[in-house]
Structure 1
């Protein structure tokens, strides 16, 4: 089940759209824990963590990322799709090229601790 990170703007927008605004502090705490668990699950993959660390340096397309992490383009695309779905990375299209960047600055800051050399 996918839940947007509660500290991103999309969570509030979705809550208003569905009419499910949080009503209690317990709901807020539970949502934060659920989102944190989802975030850490996404980053538990060495491949996805490496992608995020490299994107901290600069925005890149799939082939550039694949070259940096030593993976195939299809495999890299799968990981990028998962990172995009959870809201960690964003993508923009320019012609036929799709460029990825870190969307969530909290994750970028977290990666400074994990991969300081990147």
Structure 2
């Protein structure tokens, strides 16, 4: 375990090779802490995108399975997030899905008001 941590600290990565968010987290200076912070960011953004765009009402056990698989599946995304803009893409997806949800809610509200006034 200590050998792996030592080898992670010896990785020579320039700031230009990192994604913007990885550069903000100073991953090149503290790779282990940076990895876990990046993992937390990817998990949070995946959960937000899932809830905004794809979530359905599920029973508790099925919901637990979905989130467990999501936690496992974000490990490869976290590794990709160091060199590619994964977190930034998830932020853009969350913004688009959030705007869509707001507009959909307004449309349904206006449609309901028009139905009650007619």
Range into which the TM-score falls when normalised by the shorter chain: under 0.3
Higher relative contact order (CA 8 A, sep 6+): 2
Higher Cα Rg, which structure: 2
TM score, norm. by length of structure 1:
0.26
In terms of fraction of residues, the more helix-rich structure is: 2
Higher strand proportion: 1
